[in-house]
């Protein structure tokens, strides 16, 4: 691995990530590893002839002397539309190779597993991360086993299998699949967790770099779906690096959208009581049905320190958002479509920062073809 400054530390006990093995949690205390001491983003060091997000290699924990693991991720389009008369830019992460933003993380995470000599890796996912992980493992020559909740959508499962990964369906909530993957890891398999392992976050951070390069400044607000918090955390790291390198003067307001059926981030942010249902109800936004978000702390920090907000979106609002995007020619899966209602709620609350400079960006995190 290059760039020692990028190595993560345990968020609880500050132990550095081990130089040899590949634990998914801190072996000392069980804490979550987080990137630390991130270098500043340096526009002078962007390699314009490198593919996709590898043009930001100076900022990524990449293996020296090896070709990048690249399937076409990154450099996704930023297309304009309007929501209730407000001009909005849609960042089409849905057009990454496996159809979701997860590919940015998988490119870096799986390259890192390859560097550690991993030949078989397990992962758990509600669908998109599993499909992405399977694709990059296939490209890296790593055998993959993906644990998925039995209720995950059929299209995503077929996609995972199409990449040659083994699929294990686990009954029960999303967390049950994570427990099974963890049990396999305890028996010696490498757990390539996109949630716990911090390496993919660097890849997701490149989303912030692309936005600022395309717009010439930070957006005034970004609206995104919130589950475990990897998308928020990656963007938070990226805007932090842009701030440190003085490419921007302030981060955008972070506006997070959750499904009403499972809204623990909203609950923590708003101080709401137990009245908010947690995952007992069903939702079409299956990718963000996360009862115990691993990166909750960072999500709350990103929202509170930027004057943003957390919203919760009903099933009918999800459908309305999906229809609005669809009528504009943009195909989003329901998990992604929460951003429309999130945006509307932020407009109604008057916190879009109309006196701020910059544009409003919504992240289209996953393609509509992934769901029926």
Judged by the rule CB under 5 A, the positions of this chain that interact with Zn ion are: 10, 12-13, 15, 26, 28-29, 31
| Residue 305 C-beta: closest distance to Zn ion, Å | 24
Report helix, strand or coil for 66: coil
The CB-of-196 to Zn ion minimum distance in angstroms stands at 12
Q: How far is the CB of 17 from Zn ion (least distance, A)?
A: 10
Least distance from C-beta 322 to Zn ion, angstroms?
41
Residue 142 corresponds to which tokens in the numbers above?
Answer: 């790593």
Q: Which is nearer to Zn ion, 10 or 189 (CB)?
A: 10
Distance CA 46, CA 13 (A): 34
Q: What is the phi-psi region of residue 117: left when phi exceeds 0, alpha when psi lies from -120 to 50, beta otherwise?
A: left
Separation of alpha carbons 219 and 80, rounded Å = 13
Token pair for 21: 């093995």
Q: How far is the CB of 46 from Zn ion (least distance, A)?
A: 34
Three-state DSSP class for residue 92: strand
In whole angstroms, the minimum distance from the beta carbon of 197 to Zn ion comes to 14
Q: Which is nearer to Zn ion, 12 or 115 (CB)?
A: 12
In angstroms, the CA 239 to CA 247 distance is 9
Mode of pairing for the β-strands spanning 360-364 and 86-92: parallel
- Of 28 and 354, which has the nearer Cβ to Zn ion? 28
Which residue's CB is nearer to Zn ion, number 30 or number 43? Answer: 30
What 8-state DSSP symbol labels residue 262?
A: B
- Give the integer Cα–Cα distance in Å for 309 and 349: 9
Of the pair 3, 15, the CB lying nearest Zn ion is at: 15
Provide the minimum distance between the beta carbon of 34 and Zn ion in the complex, in angstroms, as a whole number.
11
List the structure tokens of 255: 């506006």
End-to-end CA distance of the chain: 41
292 to each of 104, 106, 262, 278, 324, how far by Cα in Å? Answer: 23, 22, 10, 10, 30
Toward Zn ion, which CB reaches closer, 9 or 174? 9
Nearest 5°: the CA angle 352, 354, 355 is 130
28/82 with CB nearer Zn ion: 28
Residue 282's closest CA among 170, 186, 153? 153
The kind and range of the H/E element at 145 are strand 143-149
CA-wise closest residue to 238 among 27, 59, 45: 59
Minimum separation from the CB atom of position 180 to Zn ion (A): 24
Pairwise CA distance, residues 135 & 72, whole Å:
11
Minimum distance of Zn ion from residue 7's CB (angstroms): 14
The nearer residue to Zn ion, 12 or 161, going by C-beta atoms, is 12
Pairing mode of beta strands 143-149, 360-364: unpaired
Q: Which is nearer to Zn ion, 22 or 206 (CB)?
A: 22
Tell the smallest beta-carbon distance from residue 44 to Zn ion (Å): 36
Give 12 or 175: the residue with its C-beta nearer to Zn ion: 12
CA 159 to each of CA 40, 140, 243, 274: distance values in angstroms, whole numbers, following the listed order: 37, 17, 38, 37
């Amino acid at each position: 691995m290059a760039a020692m400054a990028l190595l993560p530390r345990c968020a609880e006990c500050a132990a550095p990530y081990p130089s040899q093995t590949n634990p998914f949690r801190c072996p000392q205390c069980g804490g979550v590893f987080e990137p630390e001491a991130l270098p500043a983003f340096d526009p002078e060091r962007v390699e314009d002839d490198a593919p996709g997000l590898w043009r930001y290699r100076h900022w990524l924990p990449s293996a020296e002397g090896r070709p990048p693991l690249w399937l076409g991720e990154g450099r996704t389009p930023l297309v304009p539309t309007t929501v209730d008369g407000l001009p909005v830019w849609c960042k089409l992460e849905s057009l990454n190779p496996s159809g979701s933003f997860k590919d940015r993380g998988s490119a870096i995470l799986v390259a890192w597993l390859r560097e550690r000599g991993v030949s078989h890796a397990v992962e758990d996912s509600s669908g998109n991360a599993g499909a992405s992980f399977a694709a990059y493992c296939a490209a890296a020559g790593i055998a993959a086993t993906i644990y998925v909740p039995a209720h995950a959508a059929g299209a995503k499962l077929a996609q995972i299998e199409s990449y040659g990964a083994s699929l294990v369906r686990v009954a029960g909530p999303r967390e049950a699949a994570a427990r099974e993957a963890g049990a396999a890891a305890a028996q010696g398999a490498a757990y390539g967790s996109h949630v716990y392992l911090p390496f993919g976050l660097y890849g997701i951070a490149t989303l912030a770099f692309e936005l600022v390069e395309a717009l010439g400044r930070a957006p005034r607000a970004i609206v995104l779906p919130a589950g475990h918090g990897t998308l928020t955390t990656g963007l938070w790291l990226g805007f932090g690096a842009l701030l440190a390198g003085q490419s921007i003067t302030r981060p955008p307001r972070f506006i997070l959208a959750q499904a009403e059926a499972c809204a623990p981030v909203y609950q923590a942010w708003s101080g709401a009581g137990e009245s908010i249902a947690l995952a007992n109800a069903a939702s079409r936004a299956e990718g963000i049905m996360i009862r115990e978000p691993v990166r909750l702390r960072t999500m709350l920090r990103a929202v509170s320190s930027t004057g943003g907000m957390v919203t919760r979106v009903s099933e009918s609002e999800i459908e309305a958002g999906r229809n609005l995007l669809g009528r504009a020619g943009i195909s989003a899966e329901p998990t992604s479509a929460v951003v429309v209602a999130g945006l509307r709620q932020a407009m109604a609350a008057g916190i879009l920062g109309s006196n701020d400079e910059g544009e409003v960006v919504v992240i289209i995190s996953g393609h509509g073809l992934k769901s029926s």
